[in-house]
Amino acid sequence: MQISLTKRTKLLFTGDERNDMADVVKVSVHGGHSGQFCCHAEDLLEEIVEEYIRQGFSWIGITEHAPAINDQWLYPDQKAAALTADILLKQFEAYMQECRRLQKKYAALITISPAIEIETYSGYESFVGYLINRYAPSYLVGSVHFVNDIGFDYSEEYYEDAVRVAGGMDVLYENYFDLQYDMINKLRPAVIGHFDLIRLYDPDYHARLKKPAIAAKVTRNLELIKKYGLIIDYNLRALHKGASEPYVTSSILEAARELNIAVVPGDDSHGISGVGNFYEEGVRTLQAHGYSTEWQLPA
């Protein structure tokens, strides 16, 4: 009796947007980068977790960046902060311990998954395997920030460098989606981070993604994601940074829905101020594209 009353109430309120949103469970598959464990983020991890709880999040993945495999792969800001691969590995160990402490401490209030966002430079496969064996994360966020061993998302200058090394923007896209395909096959990360990040500094990305050679690779990768039952991160940090839409772009969002792939919000927070940013806007776009808000858990 109680259940049918609730259902009827919901029906009566169909069209009331505030009420629709109140029913949506708040989650993040990708986020919780903290100043404590990442030099381009802010705040203590515990403060960030407390903010997720304050905003009523039900479950979150804390997905700190993997440490650099060796000093060759340090980002400029890590070098400037005098970090080394050794220091980062120790820091990562402390990160996993802190995640597990917070997971237990706040278990009654929020479900926390200690996870890792990976990199894809040369040698990543065995290094990620090592991290999995040593730290047993709940899951991986399979992101591609490096193509042909260049961290293309670090700055516009790095992006241009990546274009030059690839031999053009189209080829860079193709290299990116090939590397992503390979990474998904090798690691089957539960979550695919910002699937189309390669368009970051490309003003013509809508047209480029429609070029047959690139579109074919996007479709191939989506089909692989579907085959393995993986989740696509609906990365809202793009909006936080001033972009006009999240990752993935609306055309890929459409294609993913046609394949029935789970797309789940990730705020990709890098501090307290990034927690839950643009959540409602993101959910509304997903709903407008016909997505269910019964979010699939990464597993």
What residue ranges bind Zn ion (CB under 5 A)? Answer: 33, 143, 193
Nearer to Zn ion, 143 or 221 (CB): 143
Q: Which is nearer to Zn ion, 31 or 276 (CB)?
A: 31
**Cβ distance to Zn ion smaller for residue 24 or 95:** 95
β-strands 231-235, 191-192 pairing: parallel
Nearer Cβ to Zn ion (24/269): 269
**DSSP string for residues in 39-73:** TTS-S-HHHHHHHHHHTTEEEEEEEEEPPPSSGGG
What stretches of the chain show up as alpha helix (H) in DSSP?
Answer: 2-12, 17-22, 45-54, 76-80, 85-105, 124-135, 156-166, 169-187, 205-210, 212-228, 237-240, 250-258, 279-288
- The two tokens of residue 38 are 């990442």
Residue with tokens 């055309």: 251
Nearest to Zn ion of 102, 192 (CB atom)? 192
Smallest separation, CB 145 to Zn ion (Å): 6
Least distance from Zn ion to the Cβ atom of residue 106, Å:
23
| Closest distance to Zn ion from the beta carbon of 143 (Å) | 4
d(CA 138, CA 112): 9
Closest distance to Zn ion from the beta carbon of 260 (Å):
25
Q: Helix, strand, or coil here: 6? A: helix
| Residue 39 C-beta: closest distance to Zn ion, Å | 9
